[in-house]
Amino acid sequence: MSKDIFKIIEKNNFSYQIVDIDSDEIKKLKKGKADLIISIGGDGTALKAMRLAWKFKKSLITVGPGRLGYLVSSSNELEENLKSWKSKDYELVTRKAIIQNDNKELPAFNEVVIIKNSPTRILEMEISTYNQKVNLRADGLILSTSLGSTAYNYSAGGPIIQNNLDVISITPISPFSKFPRSIVVSKESLIDILIKKNQNYAIQFDGVVEVQEENETDIKYTYNLSKESIKILGTNDNPKLDLFLDQILR
């Protein structure tokens, strides 16, 4: 199937470079060397490609060579998308990321997950937003974009959110203390998460562990939705409810 995709690219007279997204080849890429990024793979590959599009400020097409995913478009649509790109007659959708502590090197397009590492203890946290504080004792916490609402967020009891809504969903993982199943806040919100001292936890960005901590003191992390966006061709903001329900009900 990948060979067919390359044939489509060549047929439309695009020059291209093939890069393994999981290799050190990524480090060789330089800004300004390409006009468009095309990812070939499933949703995990698409999320990695989104980071590249974010880093290099390039538009993106995410293609699924096999079964259609939530974040990828069908390979059957690639030729039409390339023709529209070439003629500059296309529409792009935008996707924002969740940012931790203003660090734009670690964008999360699906979710940030704060989760315990110790199987016998729960995490004690304090959530602050709009000068209001809520204490939470749980196995962890999910901060999800609307794009990631059908991923871990949904599994933990969170809502399905229309993709064009720039919001953050706050969903606890197996809460011990009384807590709403989810709270959805606007794109202007700043969310402070205070992890109480003497705890063992990890923080994942789109499924990749970026922080491992055993804190001797309280540690605070601040999250917000980015003002910047990546631009994706060949998708839309309609929720893939048929695909989603087919997967969970089969």
Helix (H, G, I), strand (E, B) or coil at 18: coil
Q: Which residues are tagged catalytic?
A: 43
- The H-assigned helical ranges of the chain are 2-11, 43-56, 78-86, 152-155, 241-249
- Closest C-alpha among 178, 159, 149 to residue 70: 149
| Tokens standing for residue 135 | 């204490």
Q: What is the mean pLDDT of residues 48-68?
A: 86
Q: Which has the higher per-residue pLDDT, 96 or 176? A: 96
pLDDT digits (tens, 9 = 90+) for 162-196: 888 999 999 999 998 777 789 999 999 999 999 99
pLDDT digits (tens, 9 = 90+) for 70-79: 788 888 888 9
> Which class is 98-227 in CATH?
mainly beta
> Which class is 2-90 in CATH?
alpha beta
pLDDT digits (tens, 9 = 90+) for 106-142: 999 999 999 999 887 899 999 999 999 999 999 999 9
Spell 69-106 as b/e; 16+ CB within 10 A means b: bbbbbebeebeebbeebeeeeeeebebbbbbbeeeeeb
CA count, 13 A, side-chain hemisphere, 243: 13
Query: In the prediction, which pLDDT does 183 show?
Result: 94
Could you tell me the residue ranges of all domains in the chain?
2-90, 98-227
Confidence of residue 48 (pLDDT cuts 50, 70, 90): very high
Residue 126 near residue 196 (C-beta atoms within 8 A)? yes
